[in-house]
Amino acid sequence: MDGNGRWAQKRGKPRLFGHHAGARRVREIVEACPDFAVKYLTIFAFSTENWKRTQSEVSGLMKLFKRYLMSETKELVDAGVRVRFIGDRIKLDETLVALMDELELLTCHNDTVHLTIALNYGGRDEVARATKRLAREVKAGRIDPEAVDAETLARYLDTYVLPDPDLVIRTSGEARISNFLLWQSAYSEYEFVDTLWPDFTRDEFGRILASFTRRERRYGAVPG
């Protein structure tokens, strides 16, 4: 969900103004998912690299996350949205983590849309953390190192209960993946669009999904 800051600056507003607009856009896209038969949606809210931004922007984002979780809880529960968070929670403050835990618990029986929010998330960091957990299991003798393969490591990722993404969409005209779901997106389709995230409408979402359904996905094989 890229382009919030630039969207705000184009309007002569502070970057946080754009982040607030971006949060409202999240709601519209989540609400659109059932209409487009999208069961799983993952949004990249804050990366492990985003701590490098100014203290005021980071502080403002953390307050926005808290406000969003508190204000949207009832809507998410009522809409049948199951919420999960991926990423390292250690650097997040206790109040935010408590809100995350509560929302996961309150929505754990929902199944209309599975919304995953990547918060303090980085693909390399995730693989490193997964490898550490796997190494501890090997050291404890619970896993034979000779039996470790790609499927074994995948069980230790933050997304172990989720399917790999079919489609990754990046907004704002940037044509890079920026450390997002590196392991999981090995065979994902990609769509890079110029639209800044606060302007990304459900109609554009629908057009991209319609185009995606016409793609031929071979997973390395040759079509018969």
Active-site option among 50, 110, 164, 179: 50
DSSP notation for 158-217 = TTTTSPPPSEEEE-TT--S-TTSSTTTTTT-EEEE--S-GGG--HHHHHHHHHHHTTS--
Which stretches within the chain are classed as H helix? Answer: 4-10, 15-32, 55-78, 94-106, 123-139, 150-154, 202-212
Active-site option among 2, 120, 125, 158: 2
Locate 43 and state its tokens: 């949004």
Annotation says 2 is catalytic: yes
Neighbour order of strands in the sheet with 113-121: 40-47, 113-121, 81-86
**Residues annotated as catalytic (active site), given as ranges:** 2, 50
